[in-house]
């Protein structure tokens, strides 16, 4: 769970009495044999582990410390013990490369793996990286052939750069079994984590964009209309209609949807994609950014152009956006605008939902609601080259979430290989993952078993809050037409150059949305040619599982 | 080599260098040079897969280079005695500079003429002049260069302000020491801090105090980074605010070095304040001014951090600097070959421009009297 979300749950969702009640019920349920639903992991053999770990340190008992992480790591060792004999990896030394964001990630992994090291006899050396340094460090290690780590925390978008080049070790079958892969939410099931039908990833996180809106803008007699917009057509209509009105909460000018019009190191592209997926992600076709057979960009097809045109329409509507929108990146739209009471609709990751209620600068905590990515009245069929008058919905799984991978460095040494995968499986274990979803870890829920609200309630969480928070994520994750981005080498290069061209388009330097989209497509063609078209096509197909 | 006998002024003792010593000196120099060449060549062949000797790192070549450098220095003493020792004052530094600047520059040139995207499975490939052709047709690069001209021209205004402030601080004003320190404060701030504190916070459109003040003054819907001209001006202003104190402090030092007698003599002759400034202060300050401006130009040409943090080059590239564009090309797009070429071309442009400027400055600085 994200830190701020946890703080909220503690500050707003709990009273001391509620906490005691929660703890008591956890205890009671634990005594009755645990809470885990059917299909539990092998840890199920340890009956009440799930309820017990949720008591460490106890929701509302302050932020967990290294001692807590070690304790939880030890309590979740069951599945490891079933497959690894004590001291089996004595003398094995592994290097783990991961992040140190917010003193989470690697900091937790260290604690979780300490009892694992003590039991197995292996030793882990750590490479901690700041998020900003991560991409460069990984790319340089790959490009210069100096991969110096055995276990790697990595986002799925980089699978193309690593698995696609044979740098990763294939996941042994017992790992899938140990971590109970079938419990992963829909979109994290293969092909995510696989290349050429080989598995490489132990998932430890989920990511998606969800829709946040202001409840006080929508409803009977509200300024935004009777109902919350559920399509991009409605979003744009509401945004135009709101221009010139007054915000019911702040008394300042009212605004509708907040498009970030400035780049954000490539991440800004996810936001135009939020609009586009509703138009272009066809249920019959997993591809939506490129043609899988040719890598011809689809970014200038009529569906994408419509998405860009929608933004340009709002730019051309005086008062639709706040005054400085051309200089607003996604961080601005979320934290300086939406949470501060400017604008009424937003797409973002889960952080916004939690920050709405926990951040000191947020004024919208009581009036924020969530849903999935807006859909569209019609969709573009790239295969047929024509619009279809059929409603479409396609939530975007922006960034796909973190996973643990093992590099090919260990492939030749069976003991080392088993040790590395055992460590990865320990971190991606079903029970441990529940603890990571419930306490500050930097990771989002990503398993179907994480959405058992009873478990959360029993641990002491406020049920309404948990349902609200988890509900929109669950609906997006398991959507049958979820838009999953291509896991091909250099995907962020495509995003970055698209941001530059979009900035020019939004500043009026191109004559039309089509011209802007054509410029992006031309830049993408150059990147594809530079990286190598044939290899990109092969890797794109592998990533789509076609 | 220069004969030692002729240079009595600098040479304390005349060396009697034996032929055997000269032979030994030459031997170790050539032997170590040969060793360096052989090790370098073998490692190169190994890295290319032509021979397989299992080198894991390039350290053997580094060690061979260090041995060669040591032998070269030692050889100078063996061959030239006292005079060779004099060479040791410079030679290690020169070798260090060659190792740390010239070699990387040669490698950078190699990369600049390559197609090298870190995501490409084929790795680095020589592509001749393709990167130059791409640069020639790259509107983002030319736009950034054009912006740099605007940014650099702003130095004229910065200089005028800095000169004015320096004159004020040089005058007999109250709390002079306090103002000198206070005016220096912006220079002590990191540009990243400036961009967040001012660009992202004080100029924030809705809650920022500056935006608030502007609204209080009756302006509506103010946007500091909305239009290209305004955004460019704001970047210039923030950068100027940070670096004007630097020019000011240099000019102030120059002003304090002007003998008071000159002003007093002019005053006795009945020169007005303006004439005293224009005929005495300004001409005498020219060398300092030119130096301050040249250093400022060098600083300005590196302008990137404020832009990256506040506008990311926008709106529509209006505030993009060459460095911030290269940053995106290199960091966000891992386009190492093209990014390096852009940086090298920029370096060449800067060297040419600075050389011309220094020649001109040299001409301007000749006294008119």
DSSP line for A518-540: HHHHHHHHHHHHHH-HHHHHHHH
Which DSSP letter does residue A372 get?
A: P
A&B contacts, CB < 8 Å:
121
A505 shares a domain with A468: no
The CA distance from B39 to A128, in Å, is 35
Of A445, A477, A509, the residue that ends a domain is A477
d(C-alpha B282, C-alpha A436), whole Å: 68
- Whether residue A257 contacts residue A334, with contact meaning beta carbons closer than 8 Å, is answered with no
pLDDT of residue A381: 97
If asked whether residues A170 and A129 sit together in one domain, one would say yes
What is the reported pLDDT for B342? Answer: 95
Q: Shortest CA distance to B58 belongs to which of B70, B47, B48?
A: B47
B341 contacts in chain A (CB < 8 Å): none
The model's confidence at residue B219, banded by pLDDT at 50, 70 and 90, is: confident
The encoded tokens of residue B9 equal 């002024």
Cβ–Cβ of B121/A252 closer than 8 Å? no
**Whole-number percent of chain A with pLDDT over 90:** 60
Query: What is the predicted pLDDT for the residue at B180?
Result: 86
Q: Is residue A483 part of a domain?
A: no
| Cβ distance of A503 and B224 shorter than 8 Å | no
The pLDDT of residue A341 is 93
Q: How far apart are CA A113 and CA B177, in angstroms?
A: 58
- Containing structural domain, residue A105: 66-204+402-477
CATH number at residue A450: 3.40.190.10
A76 plus A180 within the same structural domain: yes
According to DSSP, the residues that pair with A210 across neighbouring strands are A348
Give the residue, A35 or B357, on which the prediction is more confident: B357
Tokens of B109: 């040139």
Each residue of B167-184: pLDDT tens digit? 999 988 888 889 888 999
Do A431 and A515 have their domain in common? no
Shortest distance between the Cα of B45 and any Cα of chain A, in A, equals: 17
* pLDDT at residue A366, rounded to an integer: 82
- CB burial readout B232-259, b (16+ within 10 A) else e: bbbbbbbbbbbbbbbbbbbbbebbeeee
In the predicted structure, residue A18 carries a pLDDT above the cut 50: no
A132 pLDDT tier (thresholds 50, 70, 90): low
Given a cut of 80, whether residue B67 has pLDDT beyond it is yes
Q: Which residues of B touch A508 (CB under 8 A)?
A: 316
> Is residue A458 included in any domain, yes or no?
yes
What are the structural domain ranges in chain B?
19-132, 134-364
Q: Does A508 sit within 8 Å of B316, measured CB to CB?
A: yes
Backbone torsions φ then ψ of A206, nearest 5 degrees:
-130, 155
Cβ atoms of residues A26 and A458 within 8 Å: yes
- Compute the average pLDDT of residues A360-386: 90
Of the spans A31-40, B39-48, B202-211, which averages the highest pLDDT? B39-48
Q: What's the pLDDT band for A9 if we cut at 50, 70, 90?
A: low
Instruction: Tell me the pLDDT band of A6, cut-offs 50, 70 and 90.
Output: low
At B122, is the secondary structure helix, strand, or coil? coil
Judge whether A516 is closer than 8 Å to chain B, CB to CB. Answer: no
User: Is A442 found in the same domain as A318?
Assistant: no
ipTM of this complex: 0.82
pLDDT on residue A11: 60
List pLDDT tens digits, range B19-39.
999 999 999 999 999 999 999
The dihedral of CA A512, A308, A283, A183: what is its sign? positive
In the beta sheet, which residues pair with residue A371?
Answer: A211
Whether A506 and A463 map to the same domain: the answer is no
pLDDT confidence tier of residue B242, bands split at 50, 70 and 90? very high
* Top-level class of domain B134-364: mainly alpha
Looking at the domain assignment, is residue A5 inside a domain? Answer: no
- Closest by CA to A228, choosing from A43, A428, A394, A370, is A370
- As a whole number, mean pLDDT of residues A458-464 equals 79
Q: Which residues pair with A203 in a beta bridge?
A: A403
Token pair in block for residue A112: 């979780």
Tens-place pLDDT, residues B78-123: 999 888 888 999 999 999 998 898 889 999 999 999 999 888 888 8
DSSP 3-state of A458: helix
- Model confidence band, residue B360 (pLDDT cutoffs 50, 70, 90): confident
**Looking at A477, A504, A533, which one is the last position of a domain?**
A477
What is the average pLDDT value for chain A, to the nearest integer?
Answer: 87
Q: Residue A40 above 60 pLDDT?
A: no
- Gap between the Cα atoms of B296 and B249, Å rounded: 12
Of A84, A22, A50, A4, nearest to A183 (Cα)? A50
* Whole-prediction pTM: 0.84
Whether A9 is covered by a domain: the verdict is no
| Residue B142 CB coordination number (10 Å) | 13
Report the DSSP pairing between strands A93-99 and A151-155.
parallel
| Chain A positions in Cβ-Cβ contact with residue B122 (cut-off 8 Å) | 532
> Is A23 within a domain?
no
pLDDT tens-digit series, residues A162-220: 888 889 999 999 999 999 999 999 889 888 888 888 999 999 998 889 999 999 999 99
Q: Which residues are registered as beta bridge partners of A129?
A: A99
Q: Which of A261-270, B50-59, B98-107 has the lowest mean pLDDT?
A: B50-59
Question: Do B118 and A143 make contact, defined as CB atoms within 8 angstroms?
Answer: yes
Same-domain pairing of A410 and A534: no
Helix (H, G, I), strand (E, B) or coil at A441: coil
Contact A262 B311 (CB under 8 A): yes
The contacts of residue B226 (CB under 8 Å, 6+ apart) are A323, A324, A326, A327, B315
Dihedral sign (CA A54, A95, A402, A422): negative
Average pLDDT value over all residues in chain B? 89
| The pLDDT of residue A109 is above 70 | yes
Q: For residue A297, what pLDDT is reported?
A: 97
What does the block give as tokens for B71?
């032998």
pLDDT at B223: 82
Q: Give the residue from A425, A450, A426 showing the smallest Cα distance to A201.
A: A425
Tell me, yes or no, whether A370 lies in a domain: yes
For chain A, the domain total comes to 2
Q: How far from each other are the two terminal CA atoms of chain B, in whole angstroms?
A: 44
> pLDDT tens-digit profile of B285-301?
988 999 999 999 999 99
How far is Cα A84 from Cα A421, in angstroms, rounded to an integer?
A: 11
Alpha-carbon gap: B184 to the closest alpha carbon of chain A (Å)? 30
Give me the helices (H) in A334-462, please. Answer: 351-358, 414-427, 430-438, 453-459
Judging contacts by C-beta atoms under 8 Å, the chain B residues touching residue A165 are 121
Cα gap A521→A528, rounded to integer Å: 10
pLDDT of residue A1: 63
Nearest CA in chain B to A263: B312
Question: Which of A477, A499, A522 is a domain's end point?
Answer: A477
Same domain, A347 and A411: no
Q: Rounded to whole angstroms, how far apart are CA atoms B268 and B271?
A: 8
Asked if residue B3 has pLDDT above 90, the reply is: no
Number of Cβ within 10 Å of residue B184's Cβ equals 14
Specify whether the CB–CB gap between A534 and A293 falls below 8 A: no
């Amino acid at each position: 769970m994200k830190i701020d979300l946890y703080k909220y749950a503690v500050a707003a969702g709990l009273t001391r009495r509620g906490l005691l009640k929660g703890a008591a019920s956890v205890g009671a349920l634990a005594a009755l044999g645990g809470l885990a639903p059917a299909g539990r992991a092998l840890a199920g053999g340890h009956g009440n582990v799930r309820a017990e770990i949720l008591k460490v340190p106890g929701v509302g008992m302050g932020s967990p410390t290294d001692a807590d992480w070690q304790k939880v790591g030890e309590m979740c060792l069951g599945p490891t013990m079933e497959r690894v004999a004590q001291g089996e990896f004595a003398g094995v030394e592994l290097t783990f490369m991961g992040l140190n964001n917010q003193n989470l990630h690697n900091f937790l992994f260290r604690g979780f793996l300490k009892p694992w090291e003590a039991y197995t006899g292996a030793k882990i050396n750590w490479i901690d990286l700041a998020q900003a340094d991560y991409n460069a460090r990984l790319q340089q290690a790959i490009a210069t052939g100096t991969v110096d780590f055995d276990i790697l925390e990595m986002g799925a978008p980089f699978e193309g750069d690593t698995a696609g080049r044979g740098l990763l070790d294939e996941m042994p079958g017992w790992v899938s079994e140990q971590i109970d892969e079938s419990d992963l939410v829909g979109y994290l099931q293969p092909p995510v984590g696989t290349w050429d039908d080989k598995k490489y990833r132990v998932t430890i996180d989920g990511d998606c964009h969800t829709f946040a809106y202001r409840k006080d803008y929508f409803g009977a007699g509200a300024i935004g209309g009777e109902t919350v917009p559920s399509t991009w057509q409605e979003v744009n209509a509401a945004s135009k209609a709101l221009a010139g009105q007054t915000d019911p909460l702040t008394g300042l000018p009212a605004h509708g949807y907040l498009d970030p019009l400035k780049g954000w190191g490539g991440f800004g592209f996810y936001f135009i994609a939020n609009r586009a997926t509703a138009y272009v992600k066809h249920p019959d076709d997993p591809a939506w950014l490129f043609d899988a057979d040719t890598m011809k960009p689809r970014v200038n097809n009529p569906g994408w152009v419509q998405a860009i045109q929608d933004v340009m329409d709002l730019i051309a509507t005086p008062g639709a956006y706040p005054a400085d929108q051309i200089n607003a990146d996604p961080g601005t739209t979320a934290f300086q605008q939406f949470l501060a009471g400017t604008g009424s609709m937003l797409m973002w990751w889960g952080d916004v939902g939690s920050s709405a209620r926990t951040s000191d600068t947020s004024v919208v905590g009581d009036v924020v609601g969530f849903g999935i990515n807006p859909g569209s009245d019609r969709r573009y069929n790239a295969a047929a080259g024509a619009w279809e008058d059929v409603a479409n919905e396609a939530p975007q799984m922006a960034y796909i979430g973190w996973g643990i991978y093992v590099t090919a460095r260990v492939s030749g040494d069976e003991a080392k290989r088993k040790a590395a995968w055992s460590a990865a499986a320990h971190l991606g274990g079903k029970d441990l993952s529940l603890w990571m979803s419930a306490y500050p870890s930097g990771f989002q829920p990503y398993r179907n078993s994480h959405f058992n609200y009873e478990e959360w309630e029993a641990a002491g969480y406020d049920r309404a809050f948990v349902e609200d928070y988890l509900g929109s994520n669950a609906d997006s994750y398991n959507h049958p037409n979820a838009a999953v981005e291509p896991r091909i080498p250099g995907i962020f290069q495509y995003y970055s150059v698209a941001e530059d061209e979009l900035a020019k388009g939004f500043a009026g330097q191109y004559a039309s949305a089509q011209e802007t989209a054509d410029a992006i497509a031309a830049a993408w063609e150059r990147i594809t040619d530079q990286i190598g078209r044939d290899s990109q096509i092969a890797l794109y197909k592998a990533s789509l599982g076609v | 080599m220069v004969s030692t006998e002729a240079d009595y002024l600098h040479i304390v003792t005349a060396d009697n260098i034996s032929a055997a010593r000269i032979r030994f000196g030459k031997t170790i120099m050539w032997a170590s040079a040969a060793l360096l060449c052989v090790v370098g060549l073998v490692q190169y062949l190994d890295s290319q897969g032509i021979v397989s000797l299992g080198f894991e790192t390039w350290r053997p070549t580094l060690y061979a280079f260090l041995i060669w450098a040591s032998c070269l220095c030692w050889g100078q003493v063996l061959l030239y005695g006292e005079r060779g020792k004099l060479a040791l004052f410079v030679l290690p530094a020169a070798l260090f500079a060659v190792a740390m600047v010239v070699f990387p520059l040669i490698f950078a040139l190699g990369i600049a003429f390559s197609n090298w995207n870190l995501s490409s499975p084929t790795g680095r490939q020589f592509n001749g002049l393709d990167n130059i052709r791409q640069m020639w047709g790259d509107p983002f690069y030319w736009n950034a260069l054009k912006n740099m001209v605007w940014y650099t021209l702003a130095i004229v205004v910065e200089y005028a302000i800095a000169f004015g402030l320096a004159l004020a601080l040089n005058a007999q004003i109250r709390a002079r020491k306090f103002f000198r320190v206070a005016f220096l404060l912006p220079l002590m701030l990191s540009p990243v801090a400036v961009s967040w504190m001012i660009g992202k916070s004080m100029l924030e459109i809705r809650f920022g105090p500056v935006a608030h003040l502007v609204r209080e003054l009756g302006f509506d819907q103010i946007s500091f980074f909305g239009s290209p001209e305004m955004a460019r001006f704001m970047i210039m202003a923030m950068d100027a605010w940070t670096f004007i104190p630097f020019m000011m402090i240099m000019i102030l030092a120059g002003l304090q070095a002007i003998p008071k007698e000159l002003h007093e003599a002019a005053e006795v002759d009945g020169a007005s304040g303006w004439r005293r400034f224009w005929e005495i202060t300004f001409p005498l300050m020219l060398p300092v001014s030119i130096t301050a401006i040249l250093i400022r130009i060098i600083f300005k040409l590196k302008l990137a951090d404020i832009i990256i943090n506040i506008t990311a080059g926008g709106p529509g590239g209006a505030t993009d600097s060459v460095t911030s564009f290269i940053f995106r090309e290199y960091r966000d797009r891992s386009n190492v070959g093209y990014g390096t070429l852009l940086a090298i071309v920029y370096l060449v442009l800067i060297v040419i421009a600075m050389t011309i400027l220094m020649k001109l400055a040299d001409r301007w600085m000749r006294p008119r009297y």
